[in-house]
Amino acid sequence: MNEKILIVDDDKIILDGFKKLLTKGGYIITTSDSGENALELIKKNSFDLILTDIVLKEMNGIELLKEVKTLSPQTVVIMITGYASIETAVKALRFGAEDYIIKPCQGDELKFRIKNALEKQKLYYELVRKDTQLVMYDLTQGLADTINNRMTTVQGFVEFAIACFEEGKEKEGLSSLLKAQDSIKRVNEVVEKLIQYTFTSNLEEKVNTDILKLCKDVENQFNEIKFNFKFPENIPQFYLTYKFSEAITEIIRNAVEANSDIINISAEINKNTRKLILNFSDNGNGIEKKDISKVFVPFFKTKATAHSGLGLWKVYQIVSANNGEVDITSQIGIGTTLTIKLPLPENQ
């Protein structure tokens, strides 16, 4: 077992009782009697689970929860509450708490809730690990295919150039070498894009962003497309990475490649899920049902094209780096709708 748990409560009797109970259960326990002290411990140590009372002096449990989810999103948080603050505990679930426990509680119930939360965390990371392995397999296979295809092309150009030089056709030989050079350059560009979006998306600084203005700025890059916008008034500003505009550009470019000439961009706020929902709908060729699950896989293309096949993969990477979700629906001959869901700012 040996999972590390931080218990936060300003009641020494409860703190000592929980520590004794969970230490016997095989957990490594650290305690804190305040939110401020707990925050310092979290900054210096790694915990698998944090068990915190909601009612604390100065920094309360909800404030601590928000800080934890910023510093260590993977850490499980369970809230402790009295009957009078159940409504607050439910609110805590919206901010990322895994569960809440009403005190006084039985020792067996506490151990069961903690064990269940930690098992769910392990299952989640096992699924993430397997999903990552599948993505890496697709990524490696796609990269290998791209490089092999390009190198075969390069070899053909070089062999033709050699034959031209042997026959004294220097102009044709030089032209063929320049084409080989261009193919090598394209391989380098693909590798650079992979490195850029795989390793830097989550590290990029976030800035205050006006979503509607961002979409209209991208509109100016595509004069051949008619854009229709449907946005509600007073959409809040979001903290998004600089690359978010590139995600929108890739969505539009993908629609253009599918022979779209009209794109409808709409937004709505879902207060129940606390998300902004952005829909990008085009009237292009559409995507076959069998290909829908592959569109976010790197190098996947539905047709022969000069582009790398990284466009929608880049969209997925950028949206994920902004804690968002992306989905796609499509019908052949009717068009495609790509949906982005972004969590609303906490002050909304």
pTM value surpassing 0.75: no
The C-alpha atoms of residue 53 and residue 18 are separated, in whole angstroms, by 12
Q: Are 75 and 96 within 8 A, CB to CB?
A: no
Measure the CA angle with vertex 324, ends 319 and 330; round to 5°: 75
Give the per-residue pLDDT at 129.
57
Domain that holds residue 255: 201-348
Give the per-residue pLDDT at 304.
42
Query: What are φ and ψ of residue 217, in 5° steps?
Result: -65, -40
Q: Which of 137-141, 171-175, 201-205, 247-251 has the lowest mean pLDDT?
A: 201-205
Structure tokens at 94: 């919206």
The C-alpha atoms of residue 146 and residue 299 are separated, in whole angstroms, by 8
Nearest to 31 by CA among 18, 45, 44, 43: 18
Q: Which of 18-22, 153-157, 200-204, 288-292 has the highest mean pLDDT?
A: 18-22
Residues 190 and 277 in one domain: no
Count CA within 13 A, CB hemisphere, residue 265. Answer: 19
Give the per-residue pLDDT at 248.
93
Q: Which residues contact 123 (CB under 8 A, 6 or more apart)?
A: none
Q: Is residue 283 part of a domain?
A: yes
Q: Which band of pLDDT confidence, cut at 50, 70 and 90, is reported for residue 75?
A: confident
Give the per-residue pLDDT at 45.
85
pLDDT (tens digit per residue) in 207-266: 889 999 999 998 888 988 899 999 998 889 998 987 899 899 999 988 888 889 999 999
Q: Are 5 and 48 within 8 A, CB to CB?
A: yes
Give the per-residue pLDDT at 49.
94
CB-CB neighbours of 312 under 10 Å: 22
Residues 34 and 131 in one domain: no
Give the per-residue pLDDT at 348.
60
Helix, strand or coil, per DSSP, at residue 4: strand
Residues 193 and 273 in one domain: no
State how beta strands 275-282 and 262-270 pair. Answer: antiparallel
pLDDT at 153 over 70: yes
Helix, strand or coil, per DSSP, at residue 195: helix
Q: Is residue 135 part of a domain?
A: yes
Domain boundary residue, one of 179, 199, 219 = 199
Q: Is residue 119 part of a domain?
A: no
State how beta strands 4-8 and 49-53 pair. Answer: parallel
Say whether the peptide bond before residue 104 is cis (omega within 30 degrees of 0).
yes
The C-alpha atoms of residue 329 and residue 322 are separated, in whole angstroms, by 21
Q: Which of 147-151, 285-289, 335-339 has the lowest mean pLDDT?
A: 147-151
Q: Which of 72-81, 144-153, 193-202, 287-296 has the lowest mean pLDDT?
A: 193-202
pLDDT at 199 over 70: no
Structure tokens at 79: 């809230």
Q: Is residue 277 part of a domain?
A: yes
The C-alpha atoms of residue 86 and residue 97 are separated, in whole angstroms, by 13
pLDDT at 43 over 60: yes
Give the per-residue pLDDT at 306.
45
Q: Which of 105-119, 129-143, 214-228 has the lowest mean pLDDT?
A: 129-143
- H runs (alpha helix) in the chain: 12-24, 35-44, 61-71, 86-94, 107-166, 170-199, 211-219, 244-257, 311-321
Residues 310 and 169 in one domain: no
> Please, is 214 exposed, middle or buried when counting C-beta atoms within 10 Å of its C-beta (0-12, 13-18, 19+)?
middle
Residues 101 and 162 in one domain: no
pLDDT (tens digit per residue) in 18-29: 999 999 988 999
Residues 345 and 206 in one domain: yes
pLDDT cut 90: percent of the chain above it: 28
pLDDT at 201 over 70: no
CB-CB neighbours of 3 under 10 Å: 19
pLDDT at 136 over 90: no
Give the per-residue pLDDT at 151.
79
Start-to-end Cα distance in the chain: 40
Residues 82 and 136 in one domain: no
Identity of residue 235: I
pLDDT at 338 over 90: yes
Q: Is residue 256 part of a domain?
A: yes
pLDDT at 130 over 80: no
Nearest to 318 by CA among 338, 292, 291, 293: 338
Give the per-residue pLDDT at 305.
44
CA distances from residue 54 to 15, 82, 102 in whole angstroms, order as listed: 14, 9, 11
pLDDT at 2 over 80: no
* CATH for 346: 3.30.565.10
Domain boundary residue, one of 172, 199, 226 = 199
Domain boundary residue, one of 149, 179, 199 = 199
Residues 13 and 95 in one domain: yes
Task: For the chain, give the mean pLDDT.
Answer: 83
Stronger pLDDT, 264 or 104, i.e. the higher one: 264
* CATH for 52: 3.40.50.2300
